[in-house]
Amino acid sequence: MSVRVRFAPSPTGALHIGGVRTALYNYLYAKKNKGKFLLRIEDTDQNRWVQGAEEYIIESLRWCGIEPEEGLGYGGNYGPYRQSERKALYYKYAHHLVQSGKAYYAFDTEEELEVMRSRLSDAGVAAPKYDASVRMEMKNSLSQDADYTASWINSGQGYVIRLKVDSGNTISYVDLVREEVKFASEELDDKVLIKADGMPTYHMANVIDDHLMEITHVIRGEEWLSSTAHHLLLYQAFEWQPPLFVHLPLILKPDGKGKLSKRDGAKFGFPVFPLAWAGQTEEDSFTGFREYGLEPEALINFLAFLGWNPGTEQEIFTLDQLVIAFDFDKVHKGGARFDIDKALWFNQQYIKQIPGDQIAQRLKPIIESNGWDYNPESCLAIIQLYLERVHKINEIPVQAYYLFTELSTYDQEAFKKHWKPELKVKFETLLADISSISSFDAQELESVLKEHLKVIGLKPGEVFPIFRLALSGSLHGPTIFQMLNILGKKGLERLHAQLKIMLDGL
C-alpha cells in the first residue's frame, strides 16, 4: 500500500508552531515515499470551534510551502475531511462495537460520576477512573438489564458510549521513533467514544477516519503517545490493521523547562505561530513569524532541526533537500529546545541569498509608509551595506533609518565621553576642509579624510566616533566612509548641523 499520511489539527484558534513541525514531518515523509499528504480538520469538540481557524490553518501551510495534496480545501476521494460532517458514520461504528460486546452504553450523570471519583479518592486511589473495577457499580448497559437499557435510550435521555477495556492485558506496538512501547490495560479507563451530544470523541473519530482514509502512518506529537493504547484497542475491536505510529519529541521552552506554549511568545519575546492571529481579545491576539520577519524557507529549515538531525555537518537545506535527507531513524526521542537565536541565524543565511532588487521591492512599502522617499539606487546600496548586519529584512529600515531620513536622536552619553572641547577649533577646520569633497567613493573618502587628519593634527580615534554619532546617532554600524558614500553631500551637511546640535546639548 502506498504511503498516506495526514495532518489533523483542531480549529480552535491559531496553529501552534509545534503543529507546523508535525505537518512538516508528515509532508517530508509523504514526499520522500511518493505518497499522499492530506489535511483533515478534527472539530468534534464544537465548544472549542473558532471561526476563521480553518482558513488560518490552510493559509499557514500554504505560506510555509508544505501544502497538502488532498483534504479540506483540496478535494479527494475520502471526504468529507471535516469530522463534524461525518457524525452519522461514527455512531454507526460505535453501535457495531456495542453489538459485538466491545463497547457499552453508559447513563451516569455528572453528579454520579463525581460521587464515584470522590469515593475512590477517599479510598486512596491516586487517579480515579471509570474502568473494569467500577463499571458494574455504575449505571450502564452492562450493569443494568436489557429492558432498563432500552427504556433509557427510548426515553431520549442522554447517554454516552464507552469502550470496554478488559483488565489483565498488555497493549504493545513498535513506534518508529520510540521503538517498543507497552501499556498495561489496568492503566486505562473505559474511554468515552460517543459523547452525550452524539459527537464522537477524538479517539473514536481519529481511528475510524484513519482507517477509512487508508492512513498508513500516524505521525503526531509526543503528547498523543498515551492515547495510542486506546487507539490500538479500537483497531483490535474492529479487527482492522492499525497504521504505523510515530510520536515526535516535544518542542520545549528556550530554557528547556516544559513544552513551548502559546503564551510563551509574550514571555520570551518571539512568536509561536506561523502567522498573526486576531483573537476576540488582546490577550488572545498574537503576532506570527511572517509578521516578525522570518522567511518561510528559513522557518521550515529551522523547524526540521527541532527533533531531527541529518547526521552530517550540513545545516542549510532546501525543502527538496529535506525530503531526500529526512528519515525517522534520525528523529530524536528527547525534547527539542526552541532557540530563537538559531532561527534568526537560519533566516540570516536565507536573506543573504535573496537578490537585492527583490529585497528593495519588499522594503519599498515600509519606506513609504514611514513617509520617506524611496530611491531604488540608494536603497540597494543600503541593503548591500546592512545585509550582513541584520537577521531579518524588516530590520534594515529600523537600523538604517538615518540613511533614509534625517537623524532624530543620538547617544548623548557617548558624545560626552568622546568629545574633547580643546579640539573644537580643529574640528571646525576639518569640516571646512572636507566640505569641498566631490567624490564619495568609500575608499577615496577614507584616504582623503585620513590625509586631512594628519595635516590638522587629529587622530582617527578623536574624530571618527564623533563623526559616527553625528551621522547615525550611534557608535555602532557601518564605517563613516560607507555612511558618507550613501548620504553624499547631505552627509557633509549633516556633520556640520549635527555637531552644532550636539555641542549645544552639552
Q: What is 434-499 written as a DSSP string?
A: HTT-----HHHHHHHHHHHHHHHT--HHHHHHHHHHHHHSSS-SS-HHHHHHHHTHHHHHHHHHHH
The C-alpha atoms of residue 266 and residue 279 are separated, in whole angstroms, by 15
The C-alpha atoms of residue 258 and residue 337 are separated, in whole angstroms, by 9
Contacts 24+ apart (CB under 8 A), 347-350: 347/293, 347/294, 347/295, 347/298, 347/299, 347/302, 347/391, 347/392, 348/390, 348/391, 349/298, 349/316, 350/295, 350/297, 350/298, 350/301
The CATH homologous superfamily for domain 1-72+249-353 is HUPs (3.40.50.620)
> Smallest Cα–Cα separation from 441: which of 383, 360, 355, 381?
381
The C-alpha atoms of residue 194 and residue 208 are separated, in whole angstroms, by 12
Are 471 and 487 in contact, with CB atoms under 8 Å apart? yes
The reply to whether the predicted model has a pTM over 0.85 is: yes
**Mean pLDDT, rounded, for 385-396:** 96
Are 10 and 39 in contact, with CB atoms under 8 Å apart? no
- Please check the confidence at residue 411 and state whether its pLDDT lies above 80: yes
Buried b (16+ CB within 10 A) or exposed e, 384-422: ebbbeebbbbeebbebbbbbbeebeebbeebbeebbeee
Class assignment of domain 87-194? alpha beta
- Confidence band (pLDDT; 50, 70, 90) for 264? confident
3-state secondary structure 244-271: EEEEECCEECCCCCCECCCCHHHHHCCC
- Please check the confidence at residue 1 and state whether its pLDDT lies above 80: no
pLDDT in tens, 195-227: 999 999 999 999 999 999 999 999 999 999 999
- Please check the confidence at residue 29 and state whether its pLDDT lies above 90: yes
- Is residue 262 annotated as a catalytic residue, yes or no? yes
302 grid coordinates: 529551522
Beta-sheet strands, E only, within 56-209: 70-71, 103-106, 160-163, 170-175, 179-184, 192-194
- Please check the confidence at residue 47 and state whether its pLDDT lies above 90: no
- Confidence band (pLDDT; 50, 70, 90) for 505? confident
**Mean pLDDT, rounded, for 168-182:** 96
Are 333 and 178 in contact, with CB atoms under 8 Å apart? yes
The CATH number for 356-404, chosen from 1.10.3470, 1.10.8, 3.40.50, 1.10.1740, is: 1.10.8
Catalytic one among 102, 139, 253, 262?
262
- For cell 502512518, the residue is 217
10 grid coordinates: 483542531
The C-alpha atoms of residue 34 and residue 4 are separated, in whole angstroms, by 9
pLDDT at 45: 85
pLDDT in tens, 349-382: 999 999 999 999 999 999 999 999 999 999 999 9
pLDDT at 320: 98
Q: What is the mean pLDDT of the chain?
A: 95
300 grid coordinates: 521550515
Class assignment of domain 412-504? mainly alpha
Domain map (residue ranges) of the chain: 1-72+249-353, 87-194, 356-404, 412-504
pLDDT at 432: 94
251 grid coordinates: 518542542
The C-alpha atoms of residue 340 and residue 346 are separated, in whole angstroms, by 10
**Mean pLDDT, rounded, for 138-156:** 96
Question: Which residues, 6 or more positions from 504, have their beta carbon under 8 angstroms from its beta carbon?
Answer: none
Burial of 227 from C-beta contacts in 10 A (0-12 / 13-18 / 19+):
middle
pLDDT at 241: 97
222 grid coordinates: 509526543
Beta-sheet strands, E only, within 257-342: 336-337
pLDDT at 280: 80
3-state secondary structure 9-73: CCCCCCCCHHHHHHHHHHHHHHHHCCCEEEECECCCCHHHCCCCHHHHHHHHHHHHCCCCCEECC
- Please check the confidence at residue 267 and state whether its pLDDT lies above 90: no
- For cell 486505562, the residue is 188
The C-alpha atoms of residue 23 and residue 221 are separated, in whole angstroms, by 10
- Please check the confidence at residue 285 and state whether its pLDDT lies above 80: yes
pLDDT in tens, 108-122: 999 999 999 999 999
460 grid coordinates: 582617527
Amino acid (one-letter) located at 359: I
- High-pLDDT (> 90) share of the chain, %: 92
pLDDT at 46: 82
- For cell 529584512, the residue is 393
pLDDT at 283: 79
Are 465 and 420 in contact, with CB atoms under 8 Å apart? no
